[in-house]
Chains A and B, each alone.
Chain A
Amino acid sequence: MTHYVARRLAHAILTVLAVSLLVFGLLQMSGDPATAMLPMEATAADVAKLRADLGLNRPIAEQYVLFLSRAVRGDFGFSYRHRQGAMSIVIERIPATLELAGAALAVSLALAIPMGMLGAWKRGSWIDQAAMMVAVTGQSMPTFWMGLMLILIAAVTLRWLPASGGGDVRALILPAVTLGANMAGITARLLRSSLLEVLSKDYVRVARAKGLVERTVLWHHALRNAALPVVTMVGLQIAYLLAGAIIVETVFAYPGMGLLVIQAITAHDFPVVQAFVLVFTLMVVLVNLAVDLLYTRLDPRIAY
């Protein structure tokens, strides 16, 4: 078990390092920051002085270490646009994105669990086929387009909900439904196949032979065991949920990290993009690590 945790931890650190190398490499390839930061009329001496101040004349490996040590302290320089530390701008937006991701996860489970259960319970019936058709359609639908269609129906035509913004629970509904529905399809399909497998097991036959009603068999005997692979997948999907939030936030002008980074790219605000990429990777890596460790807890049969 200790060995397993150590290996997962090493993998997490390796991933973050790989991404930091990517960000650093891109920074190197993007041209000389000193020339970009100085005004057009700067002399060669000015450029040389700034390069020395920034440490740009040192060997590349040393620059990378310098970059890493700054990154660990959360120092990515100042945002060109906001005149504020890039890191603090990104961190300010984290709660909003987490709120959206959490709400979306709730929506996705609320849709997927009944759909998957109905599909497995009434296997082969029209309900099953309809549920699976809905699931495939959900998987095939572009998230951003679904968001726009929800705006068109619920906000523009029916005027039920606000089309954009944040801070208000009502403004969270449409983005959460968009993001959650997109994931519900995969979860429903997995739950259905997992349930079907469990329902063919001997202990389920025993439960039925005892004369238990189908509802008890399904809820008490099958669901708990069928939930295991689903829980793992839902955990792994949180990473994709966070990535999907970038798109959904852009559609709904929802003030989270995703909207921030897309605006930063348009404004060539590179420090903010850098800080975002590293913070986001760190979040994803931590979620994946937590899921991996939790999995061993959930299923006592698994030992590492």
Chain B
Amino acid sequence: MSTPPTSAPRLARRGLAWPRPRLGRLRLTPGGSIGLTIITLIVLAGACAPLVAPHGPVDQDLLRRLQPPAWAGGTASFPLGTDPLGRDMASRLLYGARISLAIGVSTVLIAGTVGLVFGLVAGYRGGWLESLIMRLADIQLSIPFLIVAIALVSVFGAGLAKMVLVLVLFGWVEYCRIIHAEVLSYREREFVDAARAMGCSNARILYLHILPNVVSSIIVVATLQVGRMILAEASLSFLGLGIQPPQPAWGTMVADGRDLLASAWWISTLPGLAILLTVLGINCFGDWLRDVLDPTLRTT
């Protein structure tokens, strides 16, 4: 690239800054507000867990094992009952919110960044790099993530880092494909040509001219993906391939109560309900966000 004329960057900055979100246009629908309420509650529960939890998440009290919830004949000191090791269900559920949210959000952030970079590069650069990245994405899409998780865990054992790796490995494709397609359509538009004629560098064109146009799709995909990541984490933990005991992950907690369904229903039921509510909240909110930000994405 040749040196740009001195006035070009200033001009571009004044005329083409990132758009400010116009919040006045956002009207919450019933679905959107239900979703937002649930998400707020779960985030608060996770954030305030150390303050409001009556007991520690891994504190055992074998004398008080398998106590039913307070409304089903239990005591007020264990409002949601206890598990087979006498740990307080309510406290574990509160701390479990931290694990689910942390994994959901962090995997989406990492996968989103990787997918964004790959998608931008593939769409903007083209050539063999594009073919390589997009073929890789195709292959990834045709292998269910559970299979890679199984292969990985069978060799290295289960653990947090490996699970995040598996989830990221399967999350990035979605961003990469969407961004690739959008960049392809923007690459040849006049405003990009104009920017190039003014002497903008490729990085500048990508950051200031193309990225603002794809950012709403990214936000929508990312929001909906947080829910799917939480479900995937819970499934892996339930199968024993994810978060290991005694960590209070919701999926692991459901597995703890599997064999006690007939005698102590609350151990499996309550953490599952927590997962359902969280993911439902995220899905309702994500659907609303999609309708507001990017109606073209609506396929289902």
Chain A residues within CB distance 8 Å of chain B:
11, 14-15, 18-19, 22-23, 26-27, 29-30, 136-137, 139-145, 148-149, 151-152, 156, 186, 189-190, 193, 239-240, 242-243, 246-247, 250-251, 261-262, 264-266, 268, 270, 273, 276-277, 280-281, 284-285, 288
- Chain B nearest CB: distance from A107 CB in Å? 19
A26-B152 contact given A148-B268, A190-B299, A246-B146, CB 8 Å threshold: yes
Query: Can you sample 10 A-B contacts with CB below 8 Å?
Result: A15-B142, A137-B276, A141-B276, A142-B276, A148-B257, A148-B261, A151-B261, A265-B154, A276-B150, A284-B144
Chain B, interface SS category: helix
- Please name all residues of chain B whose beta carbon is closer than 8 Å to the beta carbon of A189 when the two chains form the complex: 300
- Chain A nearest CB: distance from B277 CB in Å? 8
- Please name all residues of chain A whose beta carbon is closer than 8 Å to the beta carbon of B284 when the two chains form the complex: 136
Whether the pair A242, B299 counts as a contact (CB closer than 8 A) is no
Which of the residues B147, B268, B300 comes within 8 Å of A193, measured between beta carbons?
B300
Asked if B269 is at the interface (CB within 8 A of a chain A CB), the reply is yes
In the docked arrangement, what's the CA distance between A25 and B276, Å?
37
- Please name all residues of chain A whose beta carbon is closer than 8 Å to the beta carbon of B251 when the two chains form the complex: 142, 144
Which of the residues A14, A148, A190 comes within 8 Å of B254, measured between beta carbons?
A148
- Please name all residues of chain A whose beta carbon is closer than 8 Å to the beta carbon of B280 when the two chains form the complex: 136-137, 140
Closest to A17 in B: B139
- Chain B nearest CB: distance from A130 CB in Å? 13
A193-B231 contact given A148-B258, A281-B147, CB 8 Å threshold: no
Asked if B17 is at the interface (CB within 8 A of a chain A CB), the reply is no
Across chains A and B, the number of contacting residue pairs, with CB separation under 8 Å, is 136
Asked if B155 is at the interface (CB within 8 A of a chain A CB), the reply is yes
Chain B residues within CB distance 8 Å of chain A:
135, 138-139, 142-148, 150-156, 227, 231, 234-235, 238-241, 251, 254, 257-258, 261-262, 265, 268-269, 272, 275-276, 279-280, 282-284, 287, 298-300
Whether the pair A145, B276 counts as a contact (CB closer than 8 A) is yes
In the docked arrangement, what's the CA distance between A271 and B100, Å?
33
In the docked arrangement, what's the CA distance between A143 and B231, Å?
9
The 4 closest A-B pairs by CB, nearest first: A145-B272, A243-B144, A140-B279, A140-B280
In the docked arrangement, what's the CA distance between A247 and B143, Å?
16
- Please name all residues of chain B whose beta carbon is closer than 8 Å to the beta carbon of A242 when the two chains form the complex: 144
A26-B155 contact given A14-B135, A239-B142, CB 8 Å threshold: yes
- Please name all residues of chain A whose beta carbon is closer than 8 Å to the beta carbon of B262 when the two chains form the complex: 156
In the docked arrangement, what's the CA distance between A23 and B142, Å?
16
- Chain A nearest CB: distance from B6 CB in Å? 50
In the docked arrangement, what's the CA distance between A277 and B138, Å?
18
